[in-house]
Chain A
Amino acid sequence: MMVNGTAADAMLGGAQAAKRPAESLTAEAWRRFRRHRLATFGAAMLATMVFAVVAGPFIYRVPINEIDFKAKLKTPSWAHPMGTDDLGQDLLARMLYGGRISLAVGVAAMLIAITVGTAVGAVSGQSGGSVDNFLMRVTDLFLALPTLPLLLLIVYLFREALRKALGPEVGLFIMIVLVIGGLRWMPVARLVRAQFLSLREKEFVEAARSLGARPLRQIVRHILPNALGPVIVSASLDVAAAIIAESTLSFLGLGFPPDFPTWGRILADAKDNLDFAPHWAFFPGTAIFITVLSINYLGDGLRDALDPRKVL
């Protein structure tokens, strides 16, 4: 009892003491991040994009599926700032709505990849031995899988069932997010494992261990926060990769259905009309490109900001 009490007190004190430097670390990271001009630019671009797709449909109240054959394939004008498609549907409205889905898929798939990757990496790095060996072989196996063909195969096999079970929108969203996230956790797992292998031998973890901290507390309170830097960087890059993966699926006609205009889907519909309506492909293509570029720059800036070895 006595020992436990002291340990708890020490932990409590440690936790409180750890608060202050953690804040200054964040401040330092922010200062370092701002020095990367393109990364700040990327963050600003991304914030604008997110604001546009979240708030846009409330401000720009044109329906996404209003068919108007008199105004089909119109180039941008005041009535239709991004022009119209072959059914006369307003492209700006569709872009704003589709952006929500594209970005939501990106973030959700990233969360899955990071959660699975961190869990696998943490268990692997903490337990070592045969568990570690097995998990790393599984990781290697997943790394050798051809992502897109497998993605297509899973979508092909499970699409109908999920559509029936959960409805076309929710079912497809869940499946696409799960599959994209489920095929992208491996680099995170390796990263986290490597961090764990070095961190669990460090003095501060040893101190926590000798004070009687259980393995779970050691992991959650002491090791994970210190392993987070590379994971955050990887998370930002995963959002970009997931957005590309979703666009690719939709572009190939195997993602969301046409009444669900994600950016990749709009681009896919536009590609057969490229010769007389290039504006139709221009806007979704640019949106995907700018988003991915912004996220990649953001990730680059985070990498510099969170890497303590890098002098800035």
Chain B
Amino acid sequence: MSKYFLRRILITIPALLGISLVLFTVLAMAPGDPFEELATNPNVPPEVRANLRTQFGLDDPIPVRYVRWVTAMVKGDWGFSFTSRVNVSTLIMQRLPTTLFVLGTAQLLGLLVALPIGVYSAVRPYSIFDQIATTFAFIGFSLPTFCTGLLFILLFSIYLDWLPFIYRADIAATGWRWVWEMARQAIMPITVLGLFQGAATTRFVRSAVLDVIRLDYVNTARSKGLSERMTIVKHVVRNALIPVVTIVALQIPGVFTGAVITEQIFRVPGIGSLLISAILSNDTPVVMSITFVFAALVVLFNLIADLVYGWLDPRISYR
């Protein structure tokens, strides 16, 4: 078991290197000078620009620049934001917890919706419940997050005036009041993201359970006298979850897409909205670092998915 985990963790290193190579190639192929902006910006003296050029080694051959860039990233030297004049790593560290909180809760909500509905649908396929659930799942995953987000704002913030539609990181309150305010402002972004994830996952859970539920070992479990509940929970769901975990892991890059949009709509101060504002203000070091952080998060979540996979399916660890 631990050997499998170790090997799986080691695989992330070439993955991260590959991603960094792709990102760097994109940057290196980009026409023009990424610091061109600085030449026209009167706030940046020419010597700073020259320093930046040497710091980033823009005149060296590309492989040298790549190696230097990767080592700097590994050391935690992610450069300096042009617009807010702070270290990029500080900036990202300020914003990352919010993103992870919203994303993690949304994913949890998605699973909490998808698992029971998907399993129940598959246990009674083509029943009225199943048809309603499948239709809603289909609609849910065809509705882009920016549509649902705007719909929620219109309904809950403008017409009903129940929830605030601007997310604030610094709430001037403590104790339970803080928790209450936090919940009120986080509920919409989390629901928008969570329901979208949930809708897509419901379909996968349903088909995975349908694949398993007709197998002989399930009949065996029933006929040896296990209650229906035990059969479903212990025998069916655990095995059905194996493909679901794979698909959920494959969806993770898409989750970040949703995260960027919801952060932008609800003005959640996470790294997604930071990315957009950095792009709009031509802040290259921030844009590069955030893209890399997103890529690293994808790799991290894939790793977690694989570890869960190893736990769900004990056969894997022996390979």
A residues near B (Cβ < 8 Å) are 137, 140-150, 152-158, 160-161, 240, 244, 247-248, 251-254, 264, 267, 271, 274-275, 278, 281, 285, 288-289, 292-293, 296-297, 300
B257 at the binding interface (Cβ < 8 Å): yes
B141 neighbours in A (Cβ, 8 Å): 296
Does A150 lie within 8 Å of B31, measured CB to CB? no
User: By DSSP majority rule, is chain A's interface helix, strand, loop, or mixed?
Assistant: helix
Does A267 lie within 8 Å of B250, measured CB to CB? no
B64 neighbours in A (Cβ, 8 Å): none
User: By DSSP majority rule, is chain B's interface helix, strand, loop, or mixed?
Assistant: helix
Number of B interface residues, CB 8 Å? 48
Does B15 lie within 8 Å of A141, measured CB to CB? yes
CB distance from B168 to the nearest CB of A (A): 19
Given A147-B254, A149-B260, A248-B146: A278 in contact with B154 (beta carbons within 8 A):
yes
A146 vs B146: C-alpha distance when bound (angstroms): 18
Instruction: From B19, B26, B257, give the contact of A153 (CB < 8 A).
Output: B26
Instruction: From B18, B144, B295, give the contact of A146 (CB < 8 A).
Output: B295
Instruction: From B30, B138, B275, give the contact of A157 (CB < 8 A).
Output: B30
A143 neighbours in B (Cβ, 8 Å): 250, 253
Give how many A-B residue pairs fall within 8 Å (CB-CB).
132
Does B31 lie within 8 Å of A158, measured CB to CB? yes
B294 at the binding interface (Cβ < 8 Å): yes
Does A148 lie within 8 Å of B158, measured CB to CB? no
A253 neighbours in B (Cβ, 8 Å): 276, 280
Does A271 lie within 8 Å of B295, measured CB to CB? no
B residues near A (Cβ < 8 Å) are 15, 18-19, 22-23, 26-27, 30-32, 34, 138-139, 141-144, 146-147, 150-151, 153-154, 158, 250, 253-254, 256-257, 260-261, 264-265, 275-276, 279-280, 282, 287-288, 290-291, 294-295, 297-299, 302
A297 neighbours in B (Cβ, 8 Å): 138
Top 9 nearest A-B pairs by Cβ distance?
Answer: A157-B30, A148-B257, A161-B31, A146-B294, A293-B142, A149-B294, A141-B18, A149-B291, A292-B142
A271 vs B138: C-alpha distance when bound (angstroms): 25
Does A141 lie within 8 Å of B26, measured CB to CB? no
Given A157-B30, A248-B144, A296-B142: A146 in contact with B154 (beta carbons within 8 A):
no
12 additional contacts, CB 8 Å, given A142-B22, A153-B288, A153-B291?
A: A144-B253, A144-B302, A150-B23, A152-B276, A152-B291, A154-B26, A157-B27, A157-B34, A161-B30, A161-B32, A267-B146, A296-B141
